[in-house]
Amino acid sequence: MSKIGFTEGPCPVCNYKESKFKEALISEKIYGQYLEIDCPRCGNYAFILDDFDDIHELLLSIINEDELYWFLGYTREQTEIRDYNIVNKLRSEAGTTESLSYKYNKLRNEPFIRIAKDKIKEQIIFAIKQAPKTPHDKAIKLLTNLANSNRFPGNLIPLDSEKDYTASYSGSAEEFRYYLEYLEKNDYIDIRGTNCIITVNGWKVVNEVQTMKNLPQCFVAMWFDQSMDNIYLKIEKAIYEAGYKPIRVDKEHYTGDVTDKIITEIRKSKFIVADYTGQRHGVYYEAGFARGLGIETISTCKQDDIKNLHFDTSHLNHIPWETEELLYEKLKDRILAIYGEGPLKNNDNPTNN
């Protein structure tokens, strides 16, 4: 690998000219040898050393050059949402060759996210799926990314449209400036020369977005088969309307290690809903893991599948359901009976937006 010696050069993902590289050894054998990149435009992340020469070409075999921003916005955001104090501490640690992104995720007990050739297609699909789509949503995303890169209210935040357009999932510097203007007109930011400052009004919006993100969550363990799509929507609705945030780890649309991600999300959950319809091993495993951690489970199962339940779980007082509508009603009642109303109130289901 001839490019190991690089300390600065064009970013293999976005082509930005002055990106920094560092060879990073990931300590665990399963990850192996990585190259870490610090790109002012698309962020800090690691990828497999051997993929260096192919990564741009590979990206362009899946999406067009002018669609790349979907992906760059995602990688940039993953960097912006990190905790400033932890990043600074990790950066100042001397004598380590471990990747910053790896160490950060390890410290936060989150799966290590890296760009890898064999996963790049999934990663792009995931990035596009979670990206803001409307101009308003892109502007608000920019505002929250500016807030994340900002240590204290009142700090001046430097703006460089050539580097920073990715923070708004924009395709160009011009589009980025358009969102900045929108934020200024709505009194969310003040632009001061080549910097900006988030107004008190802007912080209010940022806090609202963060509150939505930090709601007590409920992990949903179920069979992810197409035949279950409508069932999931009803489960999601019941959880939202009881005031909690449903989380599912959809295996097709997750970029990191799926098992790690599932375990992380279960740990973070206040309770879990496990639907045993279809008798999937994964559901038994996830519910068992939650019980082992002392996290309570609400069990549900389609009436005609109850007889197939494994005897280990037959004492769990499953909610039997015949129709999706009944499942929704019974589940919502059970959640409210056990946990009371969560902080998300007024039947405000963000998925309806």
Q: Give the residue with the Cβ less far from Zn ion, 16 or 169.
A: 16
Count Cβ atoms below 10 Å from residue 303 Cβ, excluding itself. Answer: 13
Which residues are CB-contacts of 186 (< 8 A; sequence separation ≥ 6)? 201
CB 10 within 8 Å of CB 52: no
Q: Considering the complex, what minimum distance in angstroms separates the CB of residue 34 from Zn ion?
A: 16
Q: Considering the complex, what minimum distance in angstroms separates the CB of residue 14 from Zn ion?
A: 3
Binding-site member from 14, 115, 198, 274 for Zn ion (CB under 5 A): 14
Helix (H) / strand (E) element for 236: namely helix 229-241
CB 242 within 8 Å of CB 336: yes
- Please choose, out of 34-42, 102-110, 187-195, 198-206, the segment that lies near Zn ion by the rule CB under 5 A: 34-42
- Please choose, out of 31-39, 207-215, 253-261, 272-280, the segment that lies near Zn ion by the rule CB under 5 A: 31-39
Distance CA 156, CA 196 (A): 6
For 51, the 3-state DSSP assignment is: helix
Does 127 help bind Zn ion (rule: CB under 5 A)?
no
- Please choose, out of 5-13, 54-62, 260-268, 282-290, the segment that lies near Zn ion by the rule CB under 5 A: 5-13
Two structure tokens written together for 201: 């009004």
Q: Considering the complex, what minimum distance in angstroms separates the CB of residue 146 from Zn ion?
A: 19
Does 235 help bind Zn ion (rule: CB under 5 A)?
no
In whole angstroms, how large is the CA radius of gyration of the chain?
22
Does 39 help bind Zn ion (rule: CB under 5 A)?
yes
- Residues 200-233 as b or e (16 or more Cβ within 10 Å = b): eebbebbeeeeeeeebebbbbbbbbeeebeebbe
Count Cβ atoms below 10 Å from residue 334 Cβ, excluding itself. Answer: 18
Q: Give the residue with the Cβ less far from Zn ion, 23 or 190.
A: 23
Binding-site member from 16, 34, 74, 104 for Zn ion (CB under 5 A): 16
Q: How many residues bind Zn ion (CB under 5 A)?
A: 7
Distance CA 35, CA 22 (A): 6
- Please choose, out of 21-29, 41-49, 148-156, 250-258, the segment that lies near Zn ion by the rule CB under 5 A: 41-49
Q: Give the residue with the Cβ less far from Zn ion, 78 or 217.
A: 78
- Please choose, out of 14-22, 91-99, 271-279, 292-300, the segment that lies near Zn ion by the rule CB under 5 A: 14-22
Q: Considering the complex, what minimum distance in angstroms separates the CB of residue 87 from Zn ion?
A: 18
Q: Count of H helices and E strands in the chain?
A: 13, 13
Does 167 help bind Zn ion (rule: CB under 5 A)?
no
Does 13 help bind Zn ion (rule: CB under 5 A)?
yes
Between the alpha carbon of residue 43 and those of residues 11, 37, 101, 132, the distances in Å are 10, 8, 10, 18
Q: Give the residue with the Cβ less far from Zn ion, 64 or 351.
A: 64
Q: DSSP letter at 54?
A: G
Binding-site member from 26, 31, 41, 68 for Zn ion (CB under 5 A): 41
Does 42 help bind Zn ion (rule: CB under 5 A)?
yes
Q: Considering the complex, what minimum distance in angstroms separates the CB of residue 19 from Zn ion?
A: 6
Q: Considering the complex, what minimum distance in angstroms separates the CB of residue 10 from Zn ion?
A: 8
- Please choose, out of 23-31, 36-44, 218-226, 274-282, the segment that lies near Zn ion by the rule CB under 5 A: 36-44
CB 243 within 8 Å of CB 269: no
Q: Give the residue with the Cβ less far from Zn ion, 55 or 290.
A: 55
What dihedral angle (degrees, nearest 10) is formed by the CA atoms of 244, 249, 250, 256? 140
Nearest by Cα to 298 from 271, 264, 337, 325? 271
Q: Give the residue with the Cβ less far from Zn ion, 61 or 201.
A: 61
Q: Give the residue with the Cβ less far from Zn ion, 39 or 298.
A: 39
Q: Which residues sit at the interface with Zn ion, rule CB under 5 A?
A: 11, 13-14, 16, 39, 41-42
